[in-house]
Copies of this chain bind each other. A is one copy, B any other.
Amino acid sequence: MARPTPLSGFPEWLPDGRAVEQHVLDVLRRTFELHGFAGIETRAVEPLDQLLRKGETSKEVYVLRRLQEEADGEETPSDRSEKQLGLHFDLTVPFARYVLENAGRLAFPFKRYQIQKVWRGERPQDGRFREFVQADIDVVGAGELPYHFEVELPLVMAEALGALRDVGVPEVRILVNNRKVAEGFYRGLGLDDVEGVLRQVDKLDKIGPEAVADLLVAEQGATPEQAKACLELAAIAGQDVAVVERVRSLAASYDAVTELLETGLGELGALIEAAARRAPGVVVADLKIARGLDYYTGSVYETVLVGHEQLGSICSGGRYDTLASDGKNTYPGVGLSVGVSRLVSRLLAAGLVTATRGVPTAVLVAVADEESRPQSDAVAAALRGRGVPADVAPSAAKFGKQIKYADRRGIPFVWFPAAAGEDGEPVAGPLLGQVKDIRSGDQADADAASWEPPAQDLWPRVVPAGE
């Protein structure tokens, strides 16, 4: 087998990169759980017809086929279409299905987090992942869902991402908007193809305001004045409730105040006010946030890393009045999703974050000769029994080589069992020995029944690079 090469779009990390990713996942999970979100996992596949319910995503789906399917002859072409399975491209579609499938056995409002891989059958392009980890939080109600969850969910995510700041993740800022504000404003202007207008406004960052204005006129049939109004709305941003007044004045100047706009402004104002109180500086109203997906009906969120805004949103979501519906009941929800792989790959590529070592091991127990390996095993077992990650040297090489083995892996301590202190002097007792900090060279007598490494050396830590 020739040396294999990476597959474009399918990221993998070396052990120290994976340690960073695992730390990010652990921190997110802990924050979600502190807020009472229950963890679930859904299967990786959904029936193709469910995945294709939203036309826009159809080109991103990986369809599955059993290699021996035709050979088995068990399915006729007509029923195969029903049974066809595809890999999920997000965690929202499977969550909606899970809620419907288990509605009778879940307690609503149901708060769940879900950390899983998703797949998108994209054409390979620079920087686009075809497999990546997402971490989602959602709360879903049966029939109704109070507005205050639209305030809480982005704050939970801000706290989760903020808990990563001490490992070098930049400060986050959550940009919020409200679909009702945009829709109310456009309708007030007389632009009724709200989806179409949002789709053009969503291109602002890519093509700039003039090109968007041209598109609004050419594609949406807007007058130049209507297009100007749309751009003026999109230019409004700010951290305090004054934003609400600015939008209201703008709408009034175009005689475009609607009931829907007022409802949206009420919600947006409440969100900004509560966020400013509970997490000052984190949430910013930004009226150009559109979000492509058509199921958002209230608040919408995007998240940028401060100082790295050009990277785009690392965490997005919003409120949807109908996450799922089984005809009898409707399940409204609100949620956000972090693109963990994208975040981790940026942290690693930018050299912002590192793991103090690539193996869990804190102590390598040296082996004087193969006959005395049981003694080294006993020392390692005693250390592990007290929660100290320990490994035993793979061979009874010269001690210098065993120290090099530890050094190469970043293992901070090497233990020399009693019968074979490095100086050749046996020390009494099977768990007695000497332990060397290979960074400082310090070596001292120690008892494996009680010795502990300093807390900061017990487990690998993920720290800002250069620390």
Interface residues of A (CB under 8 A from B): 1-7, 10-15, 18-19, 21-22, 33-45, 47-48, 50, 58-69, 71-72, 74, 85-87, 97-98, 100-103, 105-107, 109, 111-112, 117, 119, 121, 123, 131, 141, 146, 148-149, 152, 274, 277-278, 324-327, 358-361, 370, 373-374, 377, 381, 384, 387-392, 394-395, 405, 408-409, 459
Cβ 8 A contact of A41, one of B18, B97, B107: B18
Cβ 8 A contact of A15, one of B6, B38, B358: B38
A86 to B325, CA, bound (A): 34
Known A1-B324, A74-B123, A148-B370; 19 more pairs at CB < 8 Å: A1-B326, A4-B97, A10-B43, A12-B40, A34-B384, A36-B361, A36-B390, A44-B117, A48-B67, A59-B71, A62-B64, A62-B65, A64-B65, A107-B405, A107-B408, A107-B409, A146-B394, A148-B373, A274-B374
Pairs across A and B, CB under 8 Å, 28 listed: A2-B326, A2-B327, A4-B100, A6-B101, A7-B85, A12-B41, A13-B40, A13-B41, A14-B40, A15-B112, A18-B39, A18-B41, A33-B360, A34-B384, A34-B389, A36-B389, A36-B391, A38-B358, A44-B131, A58-B67, A58-B68, A59-B71, A61-B67, A63-B67, A65-B65, A74-B123, A111-B359, A146-B394
Closest Cβ neighbor of A362 among chain B residues:
B36
Chain B residues, CB < 8 A from A72: 123
Chain B residues, CB < 8 A from A35: 384, 389-391
A38 to B360, CA, bound (A): 6
Closest Cβ neighbor of A358 among chain B residues:
B38
A8 to B380, CA, bound (A): 44
Pairwise interchain contact B58-A39, C-beta atoms closer than 8 A: no
Pairwise interchain contact A100-B12, C-beta atoms closer than 8 A: no
A405 to B277, CA, bound (A): 27
A315 to B208, CA, bound (A): 58
Pairwise interchain contact B100-A278, C-beta atoms closer than 8 A: no
Chain B residues, CB < 8 A from A361: 36
A459 to B64, CA, bound (A): 39
Chain B residues, CB < 8 A from A12: 40-43, 98
Given contacts A66-B62, A324-B1, contact A109 B394 (CB under 8 A): yes
Q: A413 to nearest B CB, angstroms? A: 12
Q: A162 to nearest B CB, angstroms? A: 12
Which of A65, A86, A325, A360 has the most B CB atoms < 10 Å from its CB? A360
Pairwise interchain contact A40-B67, C-beta atoms closer than 8 A: no
A14 to B104, CA, bound (A): 11
Closest Cβ neighbor of A141 among chain B residues:
B394
Chain B residues, CB < 8 A from A37: 360
A61 to B65, CA, bound (A): 8
